Amino acid sequence: MLYFVKPIESDIGKLHQLLVHFFQYVQDNSPSKFDKSSQFPEWYSYTSNSLQVLEKSLKEFVEDFDISEKNDIIYAFTLANKIELFFESMTDEQGNMLNIPIAKDFPKRELFLNNLFLHLYKSQLSSKTSTFFEKIGDVSFGEYFTEIKNSEFSTKGSLLVCPFCGIHDYKLIESEGRPPFDHILPKGDSLFVFSSINLKNLIPICDACNTIKDTRPLLYLDKSRKVRTLAFYPYSTGDDPYSFFVFSLTCTLPPAGVQGQWTVNMSCNHPSDPNFSTRATTWLNVFNILSRYSEYISNKSNYYIGQLSKKIKGQTLQQAEDIVDGYISNECNITPFALRNATGILLENIFHKWILQDQSFLSNLVLTTSSPLATNPNPLINSTDYD
Ligand SMILES: [Zn+2]
């Protein structure tokens, strides 16, 4: 996770709030009959249409489930939605492992829970038009993404780049389909369904990161969820994680007539978060970051070198160093704004810093660009190849 996203309030959070309200009512009053007029929040009665599947499911919950089942499910729902807690800590106050409740914990009611929560996500929250959106005044899931972007815009830019990788933008724009949100705690396979419609569990993410994430649990080290770990929570406040990362680059195959290969490594240190490196390790492992970054830089290197060759043509080594240095602090400076608005800016920065550090590479490049007739034992790719 390179940067945090600013959390915002939105009316579309009301769908989750309806369940919070309902379960709280049932816990406090133990009703034996379903009655939406007293058990649902007031906004639900503003229009005459109804969320039929939701009402039918909650009627079944109130009238057919026994008391202990109801209490267990309400407890699980309440705990599962303390999402920040699971990112913050691996154990409870007694030191026991803090497990996130899942639908599979309720074998007898697994189908009921899946049907209820997945339906609410698919047919109401993520649908382009839904009864729920009509009831709260025609806002939509897509508009929520715009709200988040606008909220970031004033201080940190337009939120165009995936916060998990920094190398892709979001695939979909609103007019082309559903907005680029996904569940940080996945709702599939009877897992974290309790937070399916909680906005705190819905995060902006690119397609590539989302695909990778779906196969690897973020808060557990194993697929059977026996060993907990920690991760960055996307809607955190505070300084962006990237400012505590130190990346280094090693050239494993110099570019000599063909594309070179580079390997990216990372270390980190956060002065006040003792678990920062655990969170960073989760990020690196789950999203396969170092391999993706190494591949990205290697693929882009010809282009970077070509651009640089044009800039330093006819210059001395010292002048070339000054040019690269200026480029790092201007065009590829990784400010919070640049990180959110330009894909790959971090990696471009890392590559140019490597160029400054690798004196033989830069002097070779200066030699190649300043004197076409110079004999070069390790000729770089001709800059005209990159255009
Ligand atoms: Zn991504």
Per-residue pLDDT reduced to its tens digit, 292-348:
999 999 999 999 999 999 999 999 999 999 999 999 999 999 999 999 999 999 999
What's the confidence (pLDDT) of residue 168?
Answer: 94
- 376 pLDDT above the threshold of 50: no
Average pLDDT over residues 116-140: 91
Q: From ligand 1's centre to the CA of 189, what distance in Å?
A: 23
Question: What is the CB neighbour count within 10 angstroms for residue 71?
Answer: 14
The 10s digit of each residue's pLDDT in 255-267 is 887 889 999 999 9
Q: From ligand 1's centre to the CA of 251, what distance in Å?
A: 24
275-281 CB contacts, 8 Å cutoff, 24+ apart:
275/230, 276/241, 276/244, 278/229, 278/230, 279/1, 279/230, 279/231, 279/232, 279/241, 280/232, 280/241, 280/244, 280/245, 281/229
Average pLDDT over residues 3-23: 94
Q: What is the DSSP string of 211-275?
A: HHHTTS-SSBSSTTS-SB-----TT--SS-GGGGEEEEEEEEE--SSS--EEEEEEEE--SS-TT
Q: What is the DSSP string of 58-112?
A: HHHHHHHS-HHHHHHHHHHHHHHT-HHHHHH-SB-TTS-B-PPP-GGG-GGGHHH
Average pLDDT over residues 186-191: 91
Q: From ligand 1's centre to the CA of 98, what distance in Å?
A: 28
Residue 251's DSSP bridge partners are 262
Q: From ligand 1's centre to the CA of 60, what distance in Å?
A: 40
Torsions phi, psi for 169 (to 5 deg): -95, 180
Q: What is the pTM assigned to this prediction? A: 0.91
- 384 pLDDT above the threshold of 90: no
What's the confidence (pLDDT) of residue 173?
Answer: 55
Average pLDDT over residues 98-126: 96
What's the confidence (pLDDT) of residue 307?
Answer: 94
Q: Higher confidence at residue 289 or residue 222?
A: 289
Question: What is the CB neighbour count within 10 angstroms for residue 366?
Answer: 22
Q: From ligand 1's centre to the CA of 209, what distance in Å?
A: 4
What's the confidence (pLDDT) of residue 143?
Answer: 84
Q: From ligand 1's centre to the CA of 163, what distance in Å?
A: 6
Average pLDDT over residues 116-143: 90
What's the confidence (pLDDT) of residue 148?
Answer: 85
